[in-house]
């Protein structure tokens, strides 16, 4: 495997793992604040990011590359509000998208069309996740500081899936 691409894919393993840990910390914060629905949402997001990480890791192995399981930075664990929490969610997803775009760019430079093709799944996934984060943040901004609105948000997020925000 091209070593430039191998390094970028290993970096991406780290970013997906970092997102998984960040969402776990966010779920724990929401749980302690009594937002059970928000907590469940982030437990699920954390699990999804872990799957994104594992999918990459297996791909590197299948292609004969060397996987480097990364050490991680401590995630942000405290938030001033639900808006701050979802702001972090959106900025985390935007960061991951930017990193994926770097991989895609380098795949084209290196003419590695196999990895380019594999990464398209991540491009589609990021589109969905960014849309989800933006939709939820928009809802919270409409609610403002109306605390009964937080109650309804926490209740309604239980049934929320990424498919609801998929762009047509």
Which residues sit at the interface with ligand FEO, rule CB under 6 A? Answer: 16, 19, 49, 52, 93, 96, 126, 129
> Which is nearer to ligand FEO, 10 or 126 (by Cβ)?
126
Nearest to 128 by CA among 153, 152, 96, 150: 96
Q: Shortest approach of ligand FEO to residue 122 CB, angstroms? A: 7
- 65/92 with CB nearer ligand FEO: 92
Task: State the minimum distance, in angstroms, from the CB of residue 149 to ligand FEO.
Answer: 26
Closest CB to ligand FEO: residue number: 52
Q: How far apart are CA 42 and CA 117, in angstroms?
A: 29
* CA dist., res. 54 & res. 161, Å (int): 22
Residue with tokens 């691409």: 5
How near is the Cβ of 138 to ligand FEO at its closest, in Å?
18
Residue pair 39/79 in contact by the 8 Å Cβ criterion: no
């Amino acid at each position: 495997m091209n070593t430039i691409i191998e390094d970028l894919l290993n970096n991406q393993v780290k970013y997906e793992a970092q997102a998984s840990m960040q969402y776990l910390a966010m779920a724990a914060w929401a749980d302690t604040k009594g937002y059970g629905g928000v907590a469940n949402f982030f437990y699920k997001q954390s699990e999804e990011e872990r799957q994104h990480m594992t999918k990459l890791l297996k791909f590197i192995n299948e292609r004969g590359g060397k996987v480097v399981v990364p050490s991680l930075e401590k995630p942000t664990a405290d938030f001033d509000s639900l808006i701050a929490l979802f702001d972090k969610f959106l900025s985390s997803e935007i960061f991951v998208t930017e990193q994926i775009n770097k991989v895609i760019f380098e795949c084209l430079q290196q003419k590695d069309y196999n990895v380019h093709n594999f990464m398209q799944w991540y491009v589609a996934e990021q589109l969905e996740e960014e849309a989800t984060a933006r939709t939820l943040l928009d809802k919270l901004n409409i609610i403002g500081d109306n605390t009964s609105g937080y109650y309804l948000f926490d209740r309604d997020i239980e049934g929320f899936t990424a498919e609801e925000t998929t762009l047509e």
